[in-house]
Amino acid sequence: MQFNFIAKYYLTLSKLVHGATLERAKTSLFCKIPTHANVLFIGGGTGTSLKTLVLLKPNVQVDYVEVSEQMSMRARAQMNFADGINFINLPIEEFKGEKYDVIITEFFFDLFTKEKIKQLIPHIMLKLNVGGCWIDTDFRPTTKLAQRMLLKIMYLFFNLTVGLKTLSLVDVQKLYLTNSFTLTIEKKYKKGFVTSRLLTRKA
Ligand SMILES: C[S@@+](CC[C@H](N)C(=O)[O-])C[C@H]1O[C@@H](n2cnc3c(N)ncnc32)[C@H](O)[C@@H]1O
């Protein structure tokens, strides 16, 4: 899977299809992030919500782990006003950093199969301090026909353009709740098709 090819068009496409909903959802829980938090941002793409985060919380320290060079480059280009951001061009699986107060994932788990997510969640969890929070925003499985059709089209598009290996969305809630997290806040958009969740690490 490689997002370099569509990095230039990603934001425009996302706005064309979803309007402002995804950006609103992604940043809706940033107000809960502590002022001086040490943040791990995973797969943040072109960095639009990273910018919002830093404008809202200028004292946070961020490790921005993004596997796509082109996505990372775009994020870096719009953050030249900010200190405290460390851009790391690696897959999260190879990133060794640990012990963060906050982890952010946005439209990240929708890229993977259930088996892969089952490996990723414990790997990510170990990077979060006990009591720390994880903000995960993503599409959620839906029974509505129009939303199911839209998901099918999106998966087809990403299969063809970035080489995504999966064709369906996994319900991650069951997976992270069995992995030492408590669901603390949930915000729903488009009747729950998009949600932003704040999970707290128990132990
Ligand atoms: C669907 S895009 C979402 C981008 C951004 N979070 C947003 O909401 O606009 C997924 C992003 O995750 C990145 N990504 C995919 N696999 C990754 C991995 N293993 N480690 C880090 N980043 C990854 C991709 O390069 C891409 O930028």
Give the atom of ligand 1 at the shortest distance from the alpha carbon of 137: 8
DSSP per-residue string spanning 126-183: TTEEEEEEEEEEEE-----HHHHHHHHHHHHHHHHHH----SS---HHHHHHTTTEEE
Q: Which residue has the higher pLDDT, 80 or 57?
A: 57
Identify the band that residue 180 occupies on the pLDDT scale cut at 50, 70 and 90: confident
Average pLDDT over residues 70-96: 94
- Convert the pLDDT of each residue in 116-125 to its tens digit: 999 999 999 9
Which whole number is the average pLDDT over 122-145?
95
Residues touching ligand 1 (Cβ under 6 Å) are 3, 26, 42-45, 65-68, 71, 91-93, 106-108, 111
Return the pLDDT at 201: 94
Q: What is the pLDDT of residue 171?
A: 93
| Confidence check: pLDDT of 15 > 80 | yes
* Angle in degrees, CA 140, 73, 101, rounded to 5: 55
How many whole angstroms from its chain centre is CA 18? 16
- In Å, how far from its chain's centre is CA 115? 18
Token pair recorded at residue 98 = 């640990």
Q: Which residue has its alpha carbon closest to ligand 1 atom 27?
A: 45
Domain span holding position 19: 4-201
- 83 pLDDT band, cuts 50/70/90, is confident
- pLDDT tens digit sequence for 145-179: 999 999 999 999 999 999 998 999 999 988 887 76
Residue 98 has a pLDDT of 85
Q: Which residue has its alpha carbon closest to ligand 1 atom 4? A: 45
pLDDT at 82: 83
Determine the straight-line distance between the first and last CA of the chain, rounded to whole angstroms.
33
Q: Please name which of 62, 64, 60, 63 lies closest in space to residue 34, comparing C-alpha atoms.
A: 60
Confidence (pLDDT) at 64: 98
193 contact partners, CB below 8 Å, separation of at least 6: 139, 140, 142, 144, 147
The domain total for the chain is: 1
- Of 67, 58, 61, 65, nearest to 39 by C-alpha is 61
Atom of ligand 1 nearest to the CA of 65: 21
Q: Against a cut of 0.75, is the pTM above it?
A: yes
Looking at the CA of residue 108, tell me the nearest atom of ligand 1.
10
Please give the share of the chain, as a percent, with pLDDT higher than 90: 88
pLDDT for res 203: 76
Please compute, for residue 88, the number of CA atoms within 13 A of its CA located in the half-sphere on the CB side.
18
CATH number at residue 134: 3.40.50.150
Query: pLDDT by residue (tens digit) across 22-46?
Result: 999 999 999 999 999 999 999 999 9
Q: Is the pLDDT of residue 61 over 80?
A: yes
